[in-house]
Amino acid sequence: MFKSILVVLLFSSGSLACGPHPEERPIIFVIFGATGDLAARKILPALSNLAREEALPAKFAVVGVGRRDYTHEDFRKHFQGTDADFQKKIFYSKVPFEEPFSYDNLKGLLLKIDQDFGVKSNRIFFLATQVSFFAPIVEQLGVHGMIADPVHGQEWTRVMIEKPFGHDLESAIALQSSIEQTLAESQIYRIDHYLAKEGVQNLILFRSKGDFEPCWNNRYIDHVQITMSEEIGIGSRANFWEETGLLRDVVQNHLLQVLSLLGSDLPDQNISKKKTKLLQEIRPIHLNDIVRGQYGPQSGILGYKQELGVPTTSNVETFAAAKLWIDNERWEGVPFYFRAGKRLPVQLVEAAVFFKQDPYPLVFRIQPNPKVFWHEREIALSGNTMHEAYETLLLDCMNGDRNRFVEKEEQYAAWRLLTPILHDWHSHAPLKPFPNYPAGTWGPEEALRLLSEDGREWRDPIF
């Protein structure tokens, strides 16, 4: 039966990111943190590309908000190469986020743009700032009357919030409690850009077809491996990394998203509810089932503690690996392993599903070159998405599609799983002093033990 079920699937998909054309009421995109790295690399190019494709309303404006003394012309330089008509729709407002009176300037600018449009616009506020500013910004938007009534207003307001949403369960709950004094849940769009990546959309599409569902359980599946490998170190981001660490940066969000999409019941229109249920069924992680690491120098490559701005006594992790168990009927007895780290041998994100009666895993390559393959043959064509992840998320937000955003209970479930580990690591030094793996290797030897003690080994990625 197993061999008859596992047939090679060849399919192609249309665009996964396109939605209906946004309604024609004007939209103002307000970007907090507009002079920062994320805005420059992702958000502003995404808006520029969408405008070029005529995917935005006929009337729109982009307002950058930051603490620098920019003029409109200064900010427009971020959009070099765009046409003159687009340039005229770009504006800037200086707002020191912690100074309430400065929001009057932003409010006045938005009202002026509405007057030029001749109608009150819909508004998307994109918070691309430090997490400590999320709550104060939302509060001041409400105090200054820049949030539309979610029930009775003719226009709408939506707020896109970058990760991380808090730094542990307690802070996530506190942040939610603060912003819901101003925003309805329907107005909050929590971002995990992985949900809009082509490789993750391929995973959703593959599972939604249902061809493998008869064997998507502990009767046929031996174990699952998820790997996020980065060749780069932390570079100039020492301050960020010292506050965050790898578990918060990629495990609480990206890797748990991939795991929940692999393990949840067949995805449908309410994907978030399925993912939340799955995350709640993961057994609390035993300290013996999780490993942390920090890269050291190797062949001229700096170790973490030699990176500019990193304390020489730092115990912040740049690597983590763990074995997770899901306590439900489908996955009883099936371990889910993950590993993620900086300064590993390759640049790669993939999930591999290992079957009991077949030597070849079913592999979901998320990046680079997204695809699905089995027996070293591609069995699913790329999603052929027209848009980059942030373009997709902006389109979804414009269209009110929350499917690729993270809901409140889903966020809580992820933090609930990892918060005990974070607190323990903060309170106790690692058993083996850091650094405990050389740059360019697959992490500390203890990560190998997680699988070897079960008679398994980590998959060697094949490009």
Annotate the chain with three-state secondary structure. Answer: CHHHHCCCCCCCCCCCCCCCCCCCCCEEEEEECCCCHHHHHHHHHHHHHHHHCCCCCCCEEEEEEECCCCCHHHHHHHHCCCCHHHHCCEEEEECCCCCHHHHHHHHHHHHHHHHHHCCCCEEEEEECCCHHHHHHHHHHHHHCCCCCCCCCCCCCEEEEECCCCCCCHHHHHHHHHHHCCCCCHHHEEECCHHHHCHHHHHHHHHHHHCCCHHHCCCCCEEEEEEEEECCCCCCCCHHHHHHHHHHHHHHHHHHHHHHHHHHCCCCCCCHHHHHHHHHHCECCCCHHHEEEECEECECCECCHHHCCCCCCCCCCCCEEEEEEEECCCCCCCCEEEEEEECCCCCCEEEEEEEECCCCCCEEEEEECCCEEEECCEEEECCCCCCCCHHHHHHHHHHHCCCCCCECHHHHHHHHHHHHHHHHHHHHCCCCCCCCCEECCCCCCHHHHHHHHCCCCCCCCCCC
CB-based burial label for 25 (10 Å; 0-12, 13-18, 19+): middle
Alpha-carbon span 451 to 455, nearest angstrom: 6
Residue 174: other Cβ atoms inside 10 A: 13
Pairing of strands 377-380, 371-374: antiparallel
CB-based burial label for 232 (10 Å; 0-12, 13-18, 19+): exposed
**Of residues 254, 286, 387, 423, which has the active-site annotation?**
254
Alpha-carbon span 372 to 364, nearest angstrom: 5
Say whether 254 is catalytic. yes
Report, as residue numbers or ranges, the catalytic residues: 254
